[in-house]
Amino acid sequence: MSEKIATRAAYGEALVALAEEYPELVVLDADLSGSTMTKGFAKAHPDRFFNIGIAEANMTGIAAGLAACGKKPFTNTFAMFAAGRAFEQVRNSIAYPRLNVKVVGSHGGLSVGEDGATHQCIEDFAIMRAIPNMMVLSPCDGPEMRLAVKALLDYDGPAYLRLGRLAVESVTDGAPGYRFELGKGAVLRDGGDVTVIAAGMMVQMALKAAEALQAEGVSVRVVDMHTIKPLDEALVLRCARETGCIVTTEEHNIIGGLGEAVAACVSAGCPVPVVRHGVEDVFGRSGKAERVLEHFGLSPEGETLLISDANSWSSKNKKPCAGGKCHPCI
């Protein structure tokens, strides 16, 4: 782990760095450029930056019009407003006609901290996953975020990109064999006993948990599933076959997010135990981000305990595979 930077900060840097290469790129913000980190782009390219004000639905409609004229708009606001307040416009004005708009939701998840439950968006993956034509991403660190922004500029279609508020350690730069590709997960750590499939900042926590469990003799594979939709089903099923147990972890409600996507894939293709780690269908709480995450068990310690329990149960109930085909373990 090297650089420590918030994914929202890396996102803002990427917009500025890629502006000359992509002259069609335009950035819209709902009066939050200091928080969404689009302020750098606004300063560098004021003719391509539009502060729409606190009017998220209007911003979304304008972005749709710009996309119809050949621009590559990125809309920016808090995740709560991107997925919540502007839902109808995202669905009908962007996704339905499959326009090339990137909807960016900053401050996603519980790590908003003191802003409290009203602004801790733990439903955005579920909402955006349910919209046809919509791609959903949650990069785990700064280097991955920069690669994601460039990949999205090359991708012709609607997508939702979640940004985080907290600075996080970089884990993808220098990871052996790491390669970023939309719709493809990345194995950051190999293991044979259990697979942890994580998104966003939970990837770092999963890696720390895997390190702790290694000392106990548990071999944990960690997958960075930066693209939640479309899910890398081939990788998920390979992990199910090879380790026989999967734990998903996300800074999101366990309903509708990464966990349910993985569980649906596994149940249809290779039934093995899947434990969904996330927010247990309740609203968040106000407090220091680290304390809030710990309260909901979203910490390296919380992951370590959950992975250990899942592995213990799975080890006692695993059935051997025959002929290369999975046997249900539950």
The catalytically annotated residue of 13, 56, 260, 303 is: 56
CA distance 12 to 318: 46
* Assigned domain for 126 exists: yes
- CA-nearest of 213, 137, 200 to 168 is 200
pLDDT tens, residue by residue, 84-132 = 999 999 999 999 999 999 999 999 999 988 888 999 999 999 999 999 9
pLDDT of res. 312: 78
Chain segment 39-64, per-residue pLDDT in tens: 999 999 999 999 999 999 999 999 99
What's the rounded Cα separation, in Å, for the pair 163 and 306?
A: 26
- In this predicted structure, what is the pLDDT of residue 99? 98
User: Does 23 lie in the same domain as 136?
Assistant: yes
Q: Over the chain, what is the mean pLDDT?
A: 94
Residue 313 has pLDDT above 80, yes or no: no
For position 179, what pLDDT does the model report? 96
Which of 169, 198, 218 lies at the terminal end of a domain, its last residue? Answer: 169
Q: Between β-strands 246-253 and 274-279, what pairing exists: parallel, antiparallel or unpaired?
A: parallel
- The candidate with the shortest Cα–Cα distance to 75, out of 161, 9, 183, 134, is 161
Name the band, by pLDDT with cuts 50, 70 and 90, for residue 305. Answer: confident
Identify whether the C-beta of residue 161 lies closer than 8 Å to the C-beta of residue 125: no
Claim: this prediction has a pTM higher than 0.75: yes
Q: Is 204 a residue whose pLDDT tops 90? A: yes
Clarify whether residues 197 and 237 are in a common domain.
yes
Inform me whether the pLDDT recorded for 328 exceeds 70.
Answer: no
19/147 same-domain check = yes
Is position 56 annotated as part of the catalytic site? yes
Domain match, 88 and 28 both: yes
The CATH number given to whatever domain includes residue 156 is: 3.40.50.970
* 157 within a domain of the structure (yes/no): yes
Q: 280 and 216, same structural domain?
A: yes
Residues 108 and 190 grouped into a single domain: no
Do residue 203 and residue 109 come from a single domain? Answer: no
Domain that holds residue 190: 186-314
Separation of alpha carbons 241 and 204, rounded Å: 24
Asked if the structure places residue 111 within a domain, the reply is yes
Does the pLDDT value for residue 212 go beyond 60? yes
- Say which CATH number the domain at 254 has: 3.40.50.920
Q: What pLDDT is attached to residue 316?
A: 67
CA angle 168, 130, 161 (to 5 degrees): 30
Is residue 74 assigned to a domain?
Answer: yes
Q: Total structural domains in the chain?
A: 2
pLDDT for the residue numbered 303: 86
